[in-house]
């Protein structure tokens, strides 16, 4: 069976400079992904259509949005595919608004919220690889090696 891909969706094209960091680890491990602009507020029908078909195509959905960031939560409300959320920095409040509007999901609908901005987008890609690795022993061993390499790259002395 062909491995399902990862979806990377975002509320606006303006989110891409942050959200493109979600592709770093996916590219490193050769994981396929699709990207799309899907706005909970501006294109609700597009969101409805995307979420309705997501389980057929995707093992996880990375969803980034800024401001009153309803995209991850609304996506999670409409599919059981795991949603990994990235709070995108906003102009007015630097992403605190994005974070708080994403992270405080009520009990019963889960969103896996990452850090604000680029580190969060990067880690979202990493979480997606970790999810895929749970059912792919070969990917798991590559991920273990990747983590070991990262650990060994940290010097123990300050230069």
SS3 string of the chain?
CCCCEEEEEECCHHHHHHHHHHHHHHHHCCCCEEEEECCCCCCHHHHHHHHHHHHHHEEEEEEEEECCCCHHHHHHHHCCCCEEEEEECCCCCCCHHHHHHHHCCCCCCCCEECCCCHHHHHHHHHHHHHHHHCCCHHHHHHHHHHHHHHHHCCCCCCC
- Decide if residue 67 touches ligand RP5 (CB under 6 A): yes
31 or 88: whose CB is closer to ligand RP5? 88
Which residue positions form the known binding site for substrate?
A: 12, 15, 42
Min dist. Cβ of residue 57 to ligand RP5 (A) = 22
Tell me the backbone φ, ψ of residue 39, rounded to 5 degrees: -105, 130
- Decide if residue 66 touches ligand RP5 (CB under 6 A): yes
Min dist. Cβ of residue 141 to ligand RP5 (A) = 36
Min dist. Cβ of residue 42 to ligand RP5 (A) = 7
Min dist. Cβ of residue 86 to ligand RP5 (A) = 10
User: Which of 63, 88, 102, 129 forms a contact with ligand RP5 (CB under 6 A)?
Assistant: 88
User: Which of 7, 8, 9, 15 forms a contact with ligand RP5 (CB under 6 A)?
Assistant: 15
Binding site for ligand RP5 (CB under 6 A): 10-12, 14-15, 39, 41, 65-67, 88
């Amino acid at each position: 069976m062909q491995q399902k891909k990862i979806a990377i969706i975002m509320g606006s094209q303006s989110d891409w400079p942050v959200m493109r960091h979600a592709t770093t680890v996916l590219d490193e491990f050769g994981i396929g992904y699709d990207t799309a602009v899907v706005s909970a507020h501006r294109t609700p029908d597009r969101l409805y259509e995307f979420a309705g078909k997501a389980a057929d195509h995707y093992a996880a959905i990375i969803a980034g949005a800024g401001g009153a960031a309803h995209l991850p939560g609304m996506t999670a409300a409409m599919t059981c595919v795991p949603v990994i959320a990235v709070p995108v920095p906003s102009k007015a409040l630097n992403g605190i608004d994005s974070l708080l509007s994403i992270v405080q999901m009520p009990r019963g609908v889960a969103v896996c919220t990452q850090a604000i901005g680029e580190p969060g987008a990067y880690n979202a890609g990493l979480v997606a690889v970790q999810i895929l690795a749970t059912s792919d022993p070969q990917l798991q061993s590559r991920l273990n090696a990747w983590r070991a390499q990262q650990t060994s790259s940290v010097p123990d002395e300050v230069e």
